[in-house]
Amino acid sequence: MTSTTTTLDWRPYEGDDDATVVGDLRVSSPVSDPRLAADRELLVHLPPGYEDSEKHYPVVYMHDGQNLFDEVASYSGEWEVDETMHALADEGIEAIVVGIPNADDDRGQEYTPYAHEEYGGGDADDYLAVLVDRIKPAIDERFRTESDPEATGIAGSSLGGLVSLYGFFEYPETFGFAGVFSPAFWWTHGRIFDYMTDQTRDTGRIYMDVGTDESDDEELRESYVNDATRMRDVLREQGYDDSQLEFVLDEGAIHRESAWARRFPDAMRFLLG
């Protein structure tokens, strides 16, 4: 699809007195598109040295944006992305992080490429199209980005992990790396694996992880682990070696932002290092 520029207005993030945001976080005017389940404002976290340099930076597009930066604004904890990116800057690892808030009750609608017989969904193609042809151009227009695929990533957890891997393969000309945290492949009833058998891409970097205690339900808990390890094996067969694919099985880890926050620094070291 041809890119179309969407010009957005930007303002500093203004949380309440208990906000936990570290560094320079910007908020956009609402993005409106008929392909989205709801309008939403984007959150953009800039590297510590952004204002004092003329550098261009890699960009990581992350789902569930309201859970990334501010504990107060989140509904189930925060990833501490801002704290992590500040710490990683001291290691020379810097990136602009774009948080795209989810659509609340329609989250599953946008983050899934296939409908579930009970939970619905299946509108990931529309969501990703808006990300690629409207949101990314708006970010590239306003901020000093490295816009090529090698410097552009997509990341998320659970259904956000599912849509990140799917988006990585659907848009190889856009995304050069993907962060796939605790992916909820179970939603697709195996269709994501059928999809993967038709893929020929063997370029870019993928970080994928899963905890051994993702769910209180034993069957679902086993599904998270078995599906993630199966996808790892599929990617290995496709040609993704240790330099391109990092897989982490986190013993005892649950399905929560606190777990993803703990694994996020190493994921960024692998994807951006």
The closest of 114, 134, 144 to 52, measured between CA atoms, is 144
Write the pLDDT tens digit of every residue in 123-181: 999 999 999 999 999 999 999 999 999 999 999 999 999 999 999 999 999 999 999 99
- Residue 5, domain member (yes or no): no
Distance of CA 232 to the CA centre of its chain: 18
For 15, the 3-state DSSP assignment is coil
User: Which residue type does 213 have?
Assistant: D
Task: Provide the β-strand partners of residue 28.
Answer: 10
Count helices and strands in the chain by DSSP H and E runs: 8, 9
CB 89 within 8 A of CB 83: no
pTM over 0.85: yes
By percentage, how much of the chain surpasses pLDDT 90?
Answer: 95
Q: Specify the pLDDT at position 3.
A: 44
Is residue 2 scored above 50 in pLDDT?
no
Mean pLDDT of 57-71: 97
Domain of 73, in residue numbers? 10-272
Under the banding of pLDDT at 50, 70 and 90, the label for residue 4 is low
Q: What are the residues whose beta carbons fall under 8 Å from the beta carbon of 37, sequence distance 6 or more?
A: 103, 106, 109, 110, 123
Under the banding of pLDDT at 50, 70 and 90, the label for residue 15 is confident
- Residue 106, domain member (yes or no): yes
Q: Specify the pLDDT at position 1.
A: 41
Is residue 112 scored above 80 in pLDDT?
yes
CATH of the domain at 14: 3.40.50.1820
Mean pLDDT of 17-32: 96
Under the banding of pLDDT at 50, 70 and 90, the label for residue 207 is very high
By percentage, how much of the chain surpasses pLDDT 70?
Answer: 98
Q: Specify the pLDDT at position 87.
A: 98
Write the pLDDT tens digit of every residue in 241-272: 999 999 999 999 999 999 999 999 999 999 99
- Residue 86, domain member (yes or no): yes
β pairing state of 96-100 and 59-63: parallel
For 234, the 3-state DSSP assignment is helix
Angle at 192 between CA 190 and CA 197, to 5 degrees: 100
- Residue 1, domain member (yes or no): no
Q: Specify the pLDDT at position 75.
A: 85
The count of structural domains within the chain is 1
Give the span between the Cα atoms of 6 and 100, in whole angstroms: 15
- Residue 115, domain member (yes or no): yes
* Exposure string for 86-107, b = 16+ CB within 10 A, e = fewer: bebbeeebbbbbbbbbbbeebb
- Residue 75, domain member (yes or no): yes
Under the banding of pLDDT at 50, 70 and 90, the label for residue 5 is low
Under the banding of pLDDT at 50, 70 and 90, the label for residue 76 is confident
Backbone angles phi, psi at 120, to 5 degrees: 75, -150
> To which H or E segment does residue 127 belong?
helix 124-130
Virtual torsion, Cα 82, 266, 246, 168, nearest 10 deg:
10
- Residue 176, domain member (yes or no): yes
User: For all residues of the chain together, what is the average pLDDT?
Assistant: 96
Distances (CA, A) of 14 to 21, 27, 70, 96, 215: 9, 9, 11, 19, 35
The closest of 204, 211, 218 to 161, measured between CA atoms, is 211
For 142, the 3-state DSSP assignment is helix
Per-residue DSSP letter, 187: G
- Residue 4, domain member (yes or no): no
